[in-house]
């Protein structure tokens, strides 16, 4: 289960409404040509992707067990949250139209904040594209969704994700307990990044 960032931001009603509308409308153009809002047609591809432990094992908030029913429910639940302006589930398709990765964005419009969780197919990992893909997602969250703060976690035994996160400029903020859907706890490292710091780093 996602938890809002430790840092608490306040928003005006106007800013909150704008973020909710951006989440509902969801312009994916900054995420690249393979990005799609997850729907029923992607259930099979997501099941295939997430059934690989090399992809799903480090991720705490996935539906489990992973099967067409749980993944379909997850897609539907996120679609309902998107209608409220609070979440987006995006799949990335490869050149053959196969699901090659996913990103789930959880948004707290009343705090101008968001979280991202996601993964790429195992054969695409460790090829140097993770950092650029992650950077594109962070930029999209700030630019397209209009949030001002992103919080992320990674399992304490997942150094690959930690390197990607810190390379993007996120600030380490200790640890926090990530609660899995079944109620169990995963110890996680935790980072935050503000829009101001992101823009300053970019240029």
Which domain covers residue 58, as residue numbers? 13-151
Does 36 reside within a domain? yes
Does 94 reside within a domain? yes
Grouping H, G, I as helix, E, B as strand and the rest as coil, residue 64 is: coil
Does 168 reside within a domain? no
Does 181 reside within a domain? no
Does 20 reside within a domain? yes
Contact 125, 91 (CB under 8 A): no
Does 98 reside within a domain? yes
Provide the CATH number for the domain around residue 74: 3.40.630.30
**C-alpha closest to that of 160 among 188, 125, 116, 135:** 125
Query: pLDDT digits over 87-121, tens only?
Result: 999 999 999 999 999 999 999 999 999 999 998 89
Does 56 reside within a domain? yes
Does 111 reside within a domain? yes
Residue-level length of the chain? 203
CA distance 199 to 203: 6
Block means of pLDDT (10 residues each) for the chain, 203 residues, are 86 98 93 94 97 88 94 98 98 94 96 94 67 85 97 86 89 85 78 95 80
Residue 194: enclosing H or E segment and its boundaries? strand 185-194
- pTM, full prediction: 0.91
Q: What's the domain count of the chain?
A: 1
β-pair type (149-155, 185-194):
antiparallel
Q: Percent of the chain beyond pLDDT 70?
A: 95
Residue 93: enclosing H or E segment and its boundaries? strand 87-93
């Amino acid at each position: 289960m996602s938890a809002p960032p430790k840092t608490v931001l306040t928003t005006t009603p106007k800013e909150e409404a704008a973020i909710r509308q951006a989440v509902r409308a969801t312009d994916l153009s900054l995420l690249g040509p393979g990005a799609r809002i997850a729907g029923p047609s992607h259930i099979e591809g997501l099941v295939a992707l997430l059934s690989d432990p090399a992809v799903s094992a480090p991720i705490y908030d996935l539906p489990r067990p992973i099967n067409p029913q749980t993944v379909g429910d997850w897609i539907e639940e996120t679609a309902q949250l998107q209608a409220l302006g609070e979440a987006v589930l995006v799949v990335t398709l490869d050149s053959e139209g196969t699901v090659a990765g996913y990103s789930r964005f959880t948004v707290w419009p009343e705090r101008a904040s968001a979280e991202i969780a996601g993964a790429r197919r195992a054969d695409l990992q460790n090829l140097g594209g993770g950092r650029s893909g992650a950077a594109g997602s962070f930029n999209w969250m700030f630019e397209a969704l209009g949030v001002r703060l992103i919080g992320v976690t990674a399992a304490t035994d997942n150094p690959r994700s930690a390197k990607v996160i810190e390379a993007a400029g996120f600030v380490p903020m200790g640890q926090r307990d990530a609660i899995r859907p079944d109620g169990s706890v995963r110890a996680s490292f935790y980072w935050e990044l503000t829009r101001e710091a992101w823009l300053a780093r970019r240029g």
